[in-house]
Amino acid sequence: MTTPVTPSAANPLKLGTRRSPLAVAQAEETRRRLCAAHGWDASFVELVTVVASGDQVLDRPLAEIGGKALWTKELDAWLADGSIDFAVHSMKDVETERPETLVIAAVLPREDVRDVLVGAESVAAIPAGARVGTSAPRRAAQMLHARPDVTVVGFRGNVATRLGKLEAGEADVTLLAAAGLNRLGETSVGSPLDPETWLPAPAQGAIGVECLAARTNIVALLSAIDHKPSHAAIDAERGLLRGLGGTCHSPIALLTTAEGDTLTLRAALFSPDGAERVEASTTFPASDTQAPAALAHALLSSAPEAIRRHFTGS
């Protein structure tokens, strides 16, 4: 039988998070929702922060220095040794393949999935030959596909850092996630892009809460804040990524829409230079875990070699 967890101000549950302002805002939202669901005081959940490896090296693209694991490895170690009870992540920063000892026990209601363009009112309005600041392969390839005249320059760091680089003239425009801006209260920054024409990143806007699978009492507590429609969409998107065998170098954009328990997954793959693009979509019951893998196969089957070489799926 699962032993109930009874936290208190003197013996709080420990929630691990990266130390960046956005990560802390996400952890605070998680704590608010969990405490509200169980009738706890906020002091019953303590935030424990870490400077993730991905936040320490900002002069190179993430794909060159270890990929998405640089956002999770410190928190994974703390979960393993019991330093924290659960951890909060931006789901788009979580590797597709995770240790079997861990489980995403909850996904919070998904925020705005759109990208926001900062420095121009639209992609078409970006000045000819402009420098676009981004280190995301999806954003770079999608921009070069739409505007092959622009130049992409590397741009990493948190929201404030990237806005500061833009202000300093290191680029003419940049792209940020609407969800992150909203969570930081920066709702007046930039121009949101229509997700039907500018496809978002897989799992963009979603917060996941992870814990040890063996800690069934913690899993049970977190189930109270699991938003099942958001969780189903994220599972489908991650299933597609798994089928594609994508890496941090693989430009993929997608949009998931839901109607009741039916999901429609629309995805596009690009060559890194934006010259090649292939798109496909599928509609399926949210419970169908094979449909995303089938879509991955269809995409790769129709993709040219310039795209396929950046994916390991079949």
CA distance 65 to 266: 30
CB-based contact 164:174 (threshold 8 Å): no
Helix, strand, coil % over all residues of the chain, rounded to 5 = 35, 25, 40
CA distance 4 to 8: 13
pLDDT for 53 equals 56
pLDDT for 248 equals 73
**% of the chain beyond a pLDDT of 90:** 80
Give the pLDDT confidence of 252-304 residue by residue, as tens digits: 999 999 999 999 999 999 999 999 999 999 999 999 999 999 999 999 999 99
Three-class SS state of 29: helix
- Measure CA of the first residue to CA of the last residue in the chain; give whole Å: 43
The mean pLDDT value for 80-88 works out to 95
CA distance 211 to 216: 9
Q: Phi then psi for 109, rounded to 5 degrees?
A: -55, 130
Q: pTM, whole model, 2 decimals?
A: 0.91
pLDDT for 70 equals 64
Active-site positions? 93
Q: Which residue has the tokens 């063996």?
A: 214
What are the chain's domains?
13-108+206-226 (3.40.190.10), 115-192 (3.40.190.10), 239-308 (3.30.160.40)
Q: Phi then psi for 223, rounded to 5 degrees?
A: -60, -25
Output the average pLDDT for the chain. Answer: 91
Beta bridge partners of 36: none
pLDDT for 65 equals 46
Amino acid at 285: P
Among 2-16, 24-38, 59-73, which stretch is predicted with the lowest mean pLDDT?
59-73
E-strand spans in 111-190?
115-118, 131-133, 151-153, 173-177
CA distance 166 to 146: 21
Q: How far is CA 177 from CA 35, 55, 133, 186, in A?
A: 27, 17, 14, 11
Containing H/E element for 21? Answer: helix 21-38
CA distance 51 to 86: 16
pLDDT for 93 equals 87
Give the pLDDT confidence of 164-181 residue by residue, as tens digits: 999 999 999 999 999 999
CB-based contact 170:119 (threshold 8 Å): no
Give the pLDDT confidence of 37-78 residue by residue, as tens digits: 999 999 999 999 986 555 555 455 545 544 455 668 889 999
Residue 184 C-beta-side C-alpha neighbours within 13 Å: 18
* Residue 75: alpha-carbon gap to chain centroid: 16
Residues 6+ apart with CB under 8 A from 112: 178, 179, 182, 192, 205
